[in-house]
Amino acid sequence: MALLDIVTYPKKILAQKTLPITDFKNKRWDRLISDMAETMYNAPGIGLAANQIGEPLRLAIIDITSSEDTANRALHVFFNPKILEKSKQIDFEEGCLSLPGVSAPTRRYEEVVVEFQDRQGNKKKLHTSGLLAVALQHEIDHLEGRLYIDQLSTLKKDLVIKRFKKLQSMKKSS
């Protein structure tokens, strides 16, 4: 396993739609998933999309267990996920590994039904709610070339970006 570099805003790949995965026999996926998981856990985060590590592929991983609870990790792997159904919206404070150090309240669906493929390419459906539903929407947005800040008002988005850039410049100068 290897730690990968996480692509940060405003890199172009984060604003591009990813490509579907069709070759499930490729052994590369096991290594990529393993490296993505190590990177996500190390960050620490609860989700990571392939384009966040520079791969323009429709692949995301999520684990909403506590970062301290390493014995009971539950990594979910989603190839080619898409939302089929959604419920009412809720407000949720959201952050992102590609915009480290900042967060903002966003609107997300409380429940979603997602269709995806597993590691072997089998089609699956998952009906979920709460944090997993929010994380899935966040990662699927990445795969569509969208960031959570894209759904904020122009004013709020500008404030988050300004805060992020300030944090980045402070980080570079220290």
User: Which residues are known to be catalytic?
Assistant: 139
Q: Rounded to the nearest 5 degrees, what angle is found at the Cα of 17, between the Cα atoms of 113 and 31?
A: 80
From the list 41, 27, 43, 52, the residue with the least C-alpha distance to 75 is 41
Residue pair 87/78 in contact (Cβ under 8 Å)? The answer is no
Q: What is the residue-wise DSSP string for 48-83? A: EEGGGGT--BSEEEE--S-TT-GGG---EEEEEEEE
Q: How far apart are CA 147 and CA 96, in angstroms?
A: 8
The residue ranges of DSSP E strands in the chain, in sequence order, are: 47-49, 59-62, 76-86, 89-95, 103-109, 111-117, 123-129
